[in-house]
């Protein structure tokens, strides 16, 4: 994976970072919905509607990350599996919204482990490439793949 330029990495991050940060902020909105549902402050219908709205907004981010097409083949190779994590998250959020509507949260897909592994591989490979050309990375990049990936039905 030698030969990726600093400019290519910076350009790639310029495309990816607004998406990654937008997703982080959007997903922060899931826990309050789920906590309110778990506490009985909102019913299944309201929780499902709110989670469905969140999922539809998330789907826009999934399209945006899939559309990232760096001219460098090595960065493209990093982005494809990273973009797949968005597909998995979208599927989870959709199943969560449907589960809330039906009052059945015991059959949600288990995507968190594969998402976490893919994100860590992405973060690690990107860090190696950036270090080789001394490209700066976002300060919070090392947090990618840590902590909760998918919102917990219990709202925690």
pLDDT digits (tens, 9 = 90+) for 11-63: 999 999 999 999 999 999 999 999 999 999 999 999 999 999 999 999 999 99
58-84 burial code (b ≥16 CB/10 A, e <16): bbebbebbeebebebebbeebbeebbb
- The pLDDT of residue 152: 64
- The pLDDT of residue 151: 67
Q: Is the pLDDT reported for residue 154 higher than 90? A: no
- What is this structure's pTM? 0.89
Own/partner contacts of 11-20, CB < 8 Å, gap of 24 or more, are 11/70, 12/68, 12/70, 12/72, 12/75, 12/79, 13/135, 13/137, 13/138, 15/68, 15/70, 16/65, 16/68, 16/79, 16/82, 17/138, 19/61, 19/64, 19/65, 19/68, 20/144
Where along the chain do its domains lie?
A: 6-138
- The percent of residues in the chain predicted with pLDDT above 90, rounded, is 83
Q: Is the pLDDT reported for residue 111 higher than 70? A: yes
Q: List, in order, residues 6 or more apart from 1 with CB less than 8 Å away.
A: 74, 125, 128, 129
Question: Residue length, the chain?
Answer: 156
User: In a 10 Å sphere around its CB, with 0-12 CB exposed, 13-18 middle and 19+ buried, how is residue 37 labelled?
Assistant: buried
What average pLDDT does the chain have? 91
- The pLDDT of residue 139: 80
**Token reading at 146:** 């840590």
Confidence of residue 141 (pLDDT cuts 50, 70, 90): confident
- The pLDDT of residue 155: 53
Q: How far apart are CA 91 and CA 88, in angstroms?
A: 5
**Token reading at 37:** 């549902």
State mean pLDDT over 131-142: 87
Q: Is the pLDDT reported for residue 79 higher than 70? A: yes
Which of 4-13, 43-52, 111-120, 138-147 comes out lowest in average pLDDT?
138-147
Q: Is the pLDDT reported for residue 146 higher than 60? A: no
């Amino acid at each position: 994976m030698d030969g990726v330029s600093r400019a290519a990495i910076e350009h790639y991050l310029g495309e990816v970072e607004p998406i990654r940060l937008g997703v982080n902020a959007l997903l922060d909105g899931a826990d309050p919905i789920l906590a309110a549902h778990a506490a009985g402050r909102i019913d299944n219908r309201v929780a499902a509607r709110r989670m469905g709205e969140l999922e539809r907004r998330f789907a826009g981010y999934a399209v945006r990350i899939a559309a990232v097409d760096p001219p460098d083949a090595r960065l493209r190779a990093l982005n494809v599996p990273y973009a797949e994590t968005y597909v998995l998250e979208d599927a989870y959020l959709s199943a969560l919204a449907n589960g809330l509507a039906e009052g059945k949260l015991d059959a949600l897909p288990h995507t968190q482990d594969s998402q976490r592994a893919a994100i860590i591989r992405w973060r690690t490979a990107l860090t190696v490439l950036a270090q080789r050309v001394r490209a700066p990375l976002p300060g919070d990049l090392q947090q990618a793949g840590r902590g909760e990936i998918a919102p917990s039905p219990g709202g925690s």
